[in-house]
Amino acid sequence: MIYLETPKKFRGLVDQARQVAQEIFRPNSRRYDLAEHEYPKELDMLGALLDGMNASGVGGAGAAGVRRDRDQGDGNRNGGNLSTALGTMELCWGDVGFLLSMPRQGLGNAAIASVASEEQLARFADSWAAMAITEPHCGSDSAAIRTTARLDGDHYVLNGDKIFVTAGDRAELVVVWATLDRNAGRAAIKSFVVEKGTPGFDLVRLEHKLGIRASDTAQFALRDCRVPKENLLGDPTVNVEKGFAGVMQTFDNTRPLVAAMAVGLARACLEETQRLLKNAGVVVDYDRPAIVQSAAAAELLKLEADYEAAWLLTLQAAWMADNRKPNSLQASQAKAKAGRACVDIALKCVELCGSLGYGESELLEKWARDAKILDIFEGTQQIQLLIIARRLLGKSSAELK
């Protein structure tokens, strides 16, 4: 059974994450929004702090991936997935771009944690890993990947192009998705850890973006890039029966994390809007029906209900991962709901606050820009709804497109 209070053993971690958001992320948020591509040096200290927390077994405050526990006893377990989600919510209350820029806390780390062998986990333990999936000709359809990986002796030779790689320039490793055989379909898609500086792996450009400007977003070209075969994550065989399940397991871990980012940002918007409305004389009365209150108060109550739904779905997906329950459906539900709710809440909060919401004197306009990416990366809203429909109807990807 899932309990909705923050577990006692995670309260210290959540408090620490909240302090980081209040003292470091939020005060510097506007600065690095205006100075796009400038690395937030304040995060180096946090990276060292998180390394110490992970070494002591505390961990969980950043965006790094967590591994599903293999030895599971009876009863309820609150583990790394839930603690990471709770910490992520707090940090994204401060700034989403900062979270995505934290050293050794990249989405590629979640991919490694999900499917790497014990030897690979040890080898890449202290590295910062980005994740490269999207290509110029295929957006949300990961199965349409054209980047190829050909085995040549003790190396795989990778060729292709990758775009929209979060923290791609700053990370030390990039987890690249490529296909071993284009004719074999989804089953041939594998993930490879490519180290920065590898010949044939070149940075093409950094993107200028609508939001999360504190985080860099890169494009890479792979031209006869030779990667040791030991850097392939998971099973190297092409198993048509298993299909896409191996690499897609990554999303079961990362989608609840992105949902947690959206939940944290949505809460920031709601709290700031409530403060600004209160200063303007609009007070929400939680003991009275919305219909007898002002239009602004009624709208805020509606937005808060949307936020609560996203929060609950996110906790459910993370808790299921900790308790070794299949959570592909719940991960997509959490990502779909939280991503859409975050965008709707941010835009409506800007509207409710009028000129204060639209101007740079407050952070609401920045949060509205940051929110959109949370409805896009790790699978767009439309892709999540398609996955949910397939799961609920028992349809394959070939049957329901």
pLDDT per position as a tens digit, 353-382: 999 999 999 999 999 999 999 999 988 999
Q: What burial class does residue 354 get, using C-beta atoms within 10 Å of its C-beta: 0-12 exposed, 13-18 middle, 19+ buried?
A: exposed
- Length, in residues, of the chain: 401
Question: Which residue, 313, 336, 334, 327, is CA-closest to 252?
Answer: 327
* Predicted local confidence at residue 60, as pLDDT: 47
Q: Name the pLDDT band for 106 (thresholds 50, 70, 90).
A: confident
- Residue that wins the pLDDT comparison between 65 and 221: 221
Q: Taking 70 as the threshold, does the pLDDT of residue 268 lie above it?
A: yes
* Predicted local confidence at residue 114, as pLDDT: 79
Q: What is the mean pLDDT of the chain?
A: 89
Q: Burial letters for 335-348: b for 16+ Cβ neighbours within 10 Å, e otherwise?
A: bbbbbbbbbbbbbb
Q: Taking 70 as the threshold, does the pLDDT of residue 56 lie above it?
A: no
CA distances in angstroms from 126 to 40, 47, 60, 63, 339, listed in the order given: 20, 11, 15, 14, 30
Contact between 233 and 190 under an 8 Å Cβ cutoff? The reply is yes
Q: Taking 70 as the threshold, does the pLDDT of residue 59 lie above it?
A: no
* Predicted local confidence at residue 142, as pLDDT: 74
Query: What whole-number distance in Å separates Cα of residue 173 and Cα of residue 108?
Result: 8
Q: Taking 90 as the threshold, does the pLDDT of residue 239 lie above it?
A: no
In degrees to the nearest 10, what's the CA dihedral of 161, 163, 168, 169? Answer: 80
Q: Name the pLDDT band for 68 (thresholds 50, 70, 90).
A: low
> How many helices (H) does the chain have, and how many strands (E)?
13, 8
* Predicted local confidence at residue 378, as pLDDT: 87
- Specify the residue for token string 């910490």: 87
* Predicted local confidence at residue 264, as pLDDT: 98
Query: What whole-number distance in Å separates Cα of residue 278 and Cα of residue 266?
Result: 18
Q: Name the pLDDT band for 54 (thresholds 50, 70, 90).
A: low
pTM for this entry: 0.92
Query: What whole-number distance in Å separates Cα of residue 103 and Cα of residue 215?
Result: 11
Question: Which residue, 135, 216, 218, is CA-closest to 182?
Answer: 135
Amino acid at 117: S
* Predicted local confidence at residue 52, as pLDDT: 56
Q: Taking 60 as the threshold, does the pLDDT of residue 73 lie above it?
A: no
Query: What whole-number distance in Å separates Cα of residue 195 and Cα of residue 102?
Result: 18
* Predicted local confidence at residue 149, as pLDDT: 97
For 312-369, write each residue's pLDDT tens digit. 999 999 999 889 899 999 999 999 999 999 999 999 999 999 999 999 999 999 999 9
Please tell me the chain's helix, strand, coil percentages from 3-state DSSP, rounded to the nearest 5.
50, 15, 35
The CATH number linked to 85 is 1.20.140.10
CA distances in angstroms from 78 to 7, 33, 156, listed in the order given: 7, 35, 39
Q: Which residues span the domain enclosing 73?
A: 1-401
Active-site residue list: 378
Query: What whole-number distance in Å separates Cα of residue 386 and Cα of residue 379?
Result: 10
| C-alpha of 45 from chain center | 22
Question: What total number of domains does the chain contain?
Answer: 1
Give every CB contact of residue 339 below 8 A, 6+ residues apart in sequence. 258, 259, 262, 374, 375, 376, 381, 384
Give every CB contact of residue 314 below 8 A, 6+ residues apart in sequence. 85, 89, 256, 259, 260, 263, 334, 338
Contact between 224 and 205 under an 8 Å Cβ cutoff? The reply is no
Query: What whole-number distance in Å separates Cα of residue 275 and Cα of residue 273?
Result: 5
CA distances in angstroms from 288 to 66, 283, 347, 349, 352, listed in the order given: 43, 12, 25, 21, 20
Q: Burial letters for 263-291: b for 16+ Cβ neighbours within 10 Å, e otherwise?
A: bbbbbbbbebbbebbeeeebebeeeeebe
